[in-house]
């Protein structure tokens, strides 16, 4: 049962409350029972893994702002707890909230790799690069035991299918064998989310994600193995981490990244109130400035959902951020494009079928 929404800072969690999802008809409110219950901390928000049975493995999108049109998401919800994550609002579809619910109610998909294999083998399937991590991180803590992302990668490897990955999880190095082989065939590239180099800010903003140093080591290991790897500073938050643009680009380049890109923080739907609450709790001296600059770049609002605007913002400050990022990339020899070109011509619809070359072995 959902616990009543109470303001509570919990170690290792990002959100400081657990508001209801926007589709819920029931609202719980904490009330004093006369025994001082409101003075006691609420029960610890422990993680629960919940099985889901999707009808399809591949999700499609037609957004002009997103560099892929097909994705596979092994998990819904994310224990990394990044307070800014735009995927928080999707938990409403399970009648759960964007706060602690999103960080503690993690949906996984048993049999996802087999479902994906059937879709790839379908006669009408047209091969296009598939992204892992378009919604929530495929290398969050649950993956260590469930190995769902590993199984998906094995399926894509068997089909010689191109894949792109976005992650801030150091666990990706477990799968370096598959990624290196795919990359040698121009079938894989990775984007590592490098939001900050400040350990204190990371612990507050992304409490259960890998440290900045660990992410730089991931970039270095991938690059050494021949896997095309870029850095993504996402999100850039004005007056909070935007002063790090030049340092992040320099560190990524030194670690071996080929390119870098950035995204302005997005605060759709109920995420705006959740982020503001977190900001005023942890950075009260900066909160007013952060929110004022976001509204300046979003036409007076905290969020602008329009295509072509939602990733970058508009106005003088947004233009300054973009110019600084371009200059930092140029200075450090980083490509600012959307990543390596992958080869779709090697796709094998049925990996178990005998191939022509096999007739002579």
Tokens of 293: 């600059």
CB 19 within 8 A of CB 274: yes
Tens-place pLDDT, residues 148-184: 999 999 999 999 999 999 999 999 999 999 999 999 9
- What is the rounded CA–CA span in Å between residue 318 and residue 297? 6
Task: Name the percent of the chain lying above pLDDT 70.
Answer: 89
Give me the pLDDT at residue 43, please.
67
Element (H, E) at 165: strand 163-167
Nearest to 181 by CA among 145, 231, 227, 119: 227
Q: Tokens for 248?
A: 């992040």
What value does the mean pLDDT take over residues 57-81? 87
What pLDDT score does 16 carry?
Answer: 87
Task: Compute CA distances 339 → 93, 334, 344, whole Å.
Answer: 32, 11, 15
| Ordered domains of the chain (ranges, CATH) | 45-332 (3.20.20.70)
* Dihedral pair phi/psi, residue 166, rounded to 5°: -120, 125
Sign of the torsion formed by the C-alpha atoms of 229, 81, 214 and 225: negative
Q: Give residue 191's Cα distance to chain centre.
A: 10
Average pLDDT over residues 14-31: 74
Q: Which residues contact 81 (CB under 8 A, 6 or more apart)?
A: 12, 13, 14, 15, 103, 206, 207, 208, 209
**pLDDT computed for residue 9 by the predictor:** 72
Is 94:105 a contact under the CB 8 Å cutoff? yes
Predicted confidence (pLDDT) at residue 308 exceeds the cutoff of 80: no
* pLDDT for 358 beyond 50: no
Residues 197/243, Cβ–Cβ less than 8 Å: no
Q: What is the pLDDT of residues 251-269, one digit of tens each?
A: 999 999 999 999 999 999 9
312-357: pLDDT as tens digits: 899 999 999 999 999 999 999 998 765 678 999 999 998 887 765 5
Average pLDDT over residues 60-71: 78
Residue 361 has pLDDT above 50, yes or no: no
Q: Whole-angstrom Cα distance, residue 122 to residue 340?
A: 27
Contact between 91 and 98 (Cβ < 8 Å): yes
- Cβ contact 234:262 at 8 Å: yes
User: In angstroms, rounded to a whole number, what is the distance separating the alpha carbons of residues 192 and 172?
Assistant: 10
Q: How high is the pLDDT of residue 1?
A: 39
- The answer to whether residue 37 scores a pLDDT higher than 80 is no
Is the pLDDT at 198 greater than 50? The verdict is yes
Compute the chain's Rg from CA coordinates.
21
User: What pLDDT, on a 0 to 100 scale, did the predictor assign at position 10?
Assistant: 76
């Amino acid at each position: 049962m959902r616990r009543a929404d109470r303001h509570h800072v919990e170690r290792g969690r990002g959100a400081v409350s657990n508001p209801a999802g926007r589709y819920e008809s029931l609202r719980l409110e904490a009330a004093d029972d006369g025994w001082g219950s409101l003075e006691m901390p609420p029960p610890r928000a422990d993680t629960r893994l919940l099985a889901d049975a999707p009808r399809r493995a591949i999700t499609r999108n037609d957004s002009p702002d997103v560099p892929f049109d097909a994705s596979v998401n092994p998990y819904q919800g994310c224990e990394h707890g990044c307070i800014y994550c735009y995927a928080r609002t999707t938990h409403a579809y399970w009648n759960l909230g964007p706060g602690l619910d999103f960080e503690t109610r993690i949906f996984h998909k048993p049999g996802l790799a087999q479902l994906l294999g059937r879709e790839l083998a379908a006669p009408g399937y047209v091969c296009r690069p598939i992204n892992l991590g378009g919604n929530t991180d495929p290398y969050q803590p649950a993956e260590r035991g469930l190995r769902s992302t590993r199984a998906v990668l094995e399926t894509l490897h068997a089909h010689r299918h191109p894949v792109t990955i976005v992650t801030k999880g150091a666990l990706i190095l477990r799968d370096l064998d598959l990624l290196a082989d795919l990359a040698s065939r121009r079938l894989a590239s990775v984007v590592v989310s490098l939001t900050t180099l400040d350990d204190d800010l990371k612990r507050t903003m992304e409490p259960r994600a890998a440290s900045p140093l660990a992410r730089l080591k991931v970039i270095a290991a991938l690059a050494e193995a021949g896997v095309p790897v870029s850095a993504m500073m996402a999100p850039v938050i004005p007056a909070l981490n935007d002063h790090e643009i030049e340092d992040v680009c320099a560190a990524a380049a030194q670690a071996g990244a080929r390119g870098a890109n950035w995204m302005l923080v997005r605060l759709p739907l109920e995420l705006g109130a959740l982020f503001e609450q977190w900001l005023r709790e942890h950075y009260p001296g900066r909160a007013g400035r952060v929110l004022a600059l976001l509204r300046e770049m979003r036409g007076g609002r905290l969020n602008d959902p329009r295509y072509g605007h939602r990733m970058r913002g508009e106005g003088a400050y947004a233009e300054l951020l973009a110019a600084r990022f371009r200059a930092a990339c140029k200075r450090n020899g980083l490509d600012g494009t959307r990543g390596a070109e992958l080869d779709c011509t090697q796709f094998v619809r049925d990996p178990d079928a005998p191939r022509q070359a096999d007739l002579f072995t």
